[in-house]
């Protein structure tokens, strides 16, 4: 008899497995339908010996000391600040849009104060800011919106930005300084030996058993457990009884080249004509020294694994119906990007699971069997 059956070996499930096993002495079975742990953060050495991220580039960044210290129990770090260039009008310029971007793009020589005035003169006063288009046009105006956001977003989501929640493009806010980093968080680094090694350390506890290649619905009735933590898609859990929640997926095309360096920085975004959205060169993220280099092209698609919940009002309303239904299952907890249908970064998922752990720990009474 397990105390907890945890579905999904990504951050959401693994954090809870680790906490429940080590802090509350619970017996945990954690399963995944895939053949590996670490969820979408999974990394491995490819046939050329280069460390790559199977589900696209994952860069750890957070403002939370608590989360950084928590993960530091399971890994050492490689300090790394991600830089992204966007290919626009035949140039490679920094994104998020900043002072350097505008000077390069329009051949200007503005400083922080004059770029603020410049952007003010270009931006449109939109109120209320209701869509992903409004956010950008309100901040930098139509021209920069069209160059950097309109087509990229259409490729990524198969939707015009005017149809998406403002939070989507608000992830990449413009700056009036020369800060060329993609993220501004206090803590930015990569696990020194990779994500999978870090997950191995998290899950190495005598109270934790791992079962791979196992789908929840195939095993749930044959493995006695007192409570369930579900981090897969919540609509799947409920057999899509209210209809399917939409997700966006990505085809990852990996290429290994007989050259040491491929591009100037970790990621180059292609917001305009190409079918892919971005190319990432893994060695730039991991710091690995190797005579060859592996890159990944991201082609967004509707088919395949559910990677991105789609932030949009009607999707949120549909999710809310599933969330309300979940209230009548007191022995089942939902967490994670798919379990709560939230476009969360890794640190947000960790925070969510740590919060759920605190809630469970504070009540620490296991539900009655059955
Ligand atoms: P997941 O990692 O998806 O784990 C859920 C697990 O549940 C999966 O392994 C799945 O196989 C398993 N599962 C689902 N259903 C079942 C079932 N029925 N039975 C058994 N197992 C099941 N975040 C960052 O902070 N920085 C980044 O740079 C970053 N880059 C990203 C790039 C891409 C392309 C993508 C898609 C995401 C990126 N993220 C990034 C987000 C990050 O991947 C997520 O925040 C995080 O991995 C979510 O963890 P999770 O445990 O909720 O979900
Ligand atoms: N975005 C864009 N152009 C860019 C970068 C981002 O239009 O060059 C928009 C796009 O809609 C994207 C969203 O901003 O989906 C969030 O970007 P982020 O880089 O955070 O996406 P993720 O890494 O989660 O795929």
Tens of pLDDT, residues 38-60? 999 999 999 999 999 999 999 99
Are β-strands 187-191 and 208-211 bridged in parallel, bridged antiparallel, or unpaired? unpaired
> Ligand 2 mean position to 355 CA, how many Å?
27
pLDDT, mean of residues 126-152: 97
Q: Which pLDDT belongs to residue 217?
A: 97
Q: Could you tell which of 40, 199, 305, 353 is best to mutate to test the pocket of ligand 1, judged by most ligand atoms within 8 Å of the CB?
A: 40
Q: Which residues contact 114 (CB under 8 A, 6 or more apart)?
A: none
The Cα–Cα gap between 366 and 333 comes to 12
The Cα–Cα gap between 177 and 114 comes to 11
Confidence of residue 370 (pLDDT cuts 50, 70, 90): very low
The Cα–Cα gap between 184 and 77 comes to 18
> Ligand 2 mean position to 262 CA, how many Å?
22
With a 6 A CB cut-off, is 10 part of the ligand 2 pocket?
no
What structural domains and CATH numbers belong to the chain?
Answer: 2-80+191-245+308-363 (3.40.50.720), 84-171 (no CATH)
Per-residue pLDDT reduced to its tens digit, 74-105:
999 999 999 999 999 999 999 999 999 999 99
Per-residue pLDDT reduced to its tens digit, 191-221:
999 999 999 999 999 999 999 999 999 999 9
Place of tokens 């790394």: 80
Flag whether pLDDT at 319 surpasses 70: yes
- The 8-class DSSP code of residue 161 comes to G
Flag whether pLDDT at 366 surpasses 80: no
- Least Cα distance to 225 among 363, 33, 20 occurs for 20
Confidence of residue 369 (pLDDT cuts 50, 70, 90): very low
Closest ligand 2 atom to 153 CA: 11
Flag whether pLDDT at 328 surpasses 80: yes
H helices of 73-159, where?
99-106, 112-122, 132-140, 142-144, 151-157
Per-residue pLDDT reduced to its tens digit, 281-300:
999 999 999 999 999 999 99
Q: What is the mean pLDDT of the chain?
A: 97
> Ligand 1 mean position to 306 CA, how many Å?
9
Handedness of CA 41, 339, 315, 123 (dihedral sign): negative
pLDDT, mean of residues 122-151: 97
With a 6 A CB cut-off, is 136 part of the ligand 2 pocket?
no
- Least Cα distance to 288 among 115, 90, 54, 53 occurs for 53
- Counting other chains too, the contacts that 87-92 makes at CB distance below 8 Å and 24 or more residues apart are 87/268, 87/269, 87/270, 87/271, 87/272, 88/147, 88/148, 88/271, 88/272, 89/147, 92/264, 92/268
The Cα–Cα gap between 144 and 102 comes to 9
pLDDT, mean of residues 250-267: 98
- Least Cα distance to 187 among 72, 288, 51 occurs for 72
Flag whether pLDDT at 19 surpasses 60: yes
Flag whether pLDDT at 114 surpasses 90: yes
- Least Cα distance to 225 among 366, 123, 47, 128 occurs for 366
- Least Cα distance to 194 among 294, 280, 62, 288 occurs for 288
Structure tokens at 159: 């939707």
Ligand nearest to the CA of 56: 1
Flag whether pLDDT at 365 surpasses 90: no
> Ligand 1 mean position to 42 CA, how many Å?
9
Contact 292, 146 (CB under 8 A): no
């Amino acid at each position: 008899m397990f105390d907890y059956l945890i579905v999904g070996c990504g951050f959401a499930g693994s954090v809870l497995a680790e906490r429940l096993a080590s802090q509350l002495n619970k017996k945990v079975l954690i399963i995944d339908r895939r053949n590996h742990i670490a969820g979408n953060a999974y990394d491995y050495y490819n046939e050329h010996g280069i460390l790559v991220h199977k589900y696209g580039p994952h860069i750890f960044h957070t403002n939370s000391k608590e989360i950084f210290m928590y993960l530091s129990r399971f890994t050492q770090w490689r300090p790394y600040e991600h830089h992204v260039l966007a290919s626009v009008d035949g140039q490679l310029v920094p994104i998020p849009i900043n002072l350097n971007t505008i000077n390069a793009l329009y051949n200007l020589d503005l400083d922080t104060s004059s770029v603020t005035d410049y952007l003010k003169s270009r931006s449109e006063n939109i109120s209320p800011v209701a869509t992903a288009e409004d956010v950008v046009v309100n901040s930098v105006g139509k021209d920069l919106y069209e160059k950097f956001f309109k087509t990229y977003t259409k490729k990524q989501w198969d939707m015009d930005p005017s149809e998406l929640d403002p939070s989507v493009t608000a992830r990449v806010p413009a700056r009036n300084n020369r800060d060329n980093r993609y993220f501004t968080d206090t803590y930015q680094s990569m696990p020194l030996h990779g994500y999978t090694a870090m997950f191995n350390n998290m899950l190495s506890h005598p109270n934790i058993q791992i079962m791979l290649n196992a789908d929840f619905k195939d095993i749930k009735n044959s493995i006695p457990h007192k409570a369930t933590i579900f981090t897969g898609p919540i609509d799947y859990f409920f057999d899509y009884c209210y209809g399917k929640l939409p997700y966006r997926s990505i085809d990852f095309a990996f290429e290994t080249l007989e050259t040491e360096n491929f591009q100037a920085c970790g990621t180059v975004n292609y917001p305009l004509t190409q079918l892919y959205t971005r190319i990432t060169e893994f060695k730039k993220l991991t710091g690995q020294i190797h005579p060859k280099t592996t890159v990944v092209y991201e082609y967004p698609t509707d088919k395949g694994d559910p990677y991105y919940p789609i932030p949009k009002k009607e999707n949120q309303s549909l999710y809310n119906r599933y969330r309300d239904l979940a209230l009548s299952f007191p022995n089942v907890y939902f967490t994670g990007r798919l379990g709560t249908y939230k476009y969360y970064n890794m640190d947000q998922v960790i925070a969510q699971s740590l919060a759920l752990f605190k809630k469970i720990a504070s009540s620490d009474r296991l539900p009655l069997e059955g």
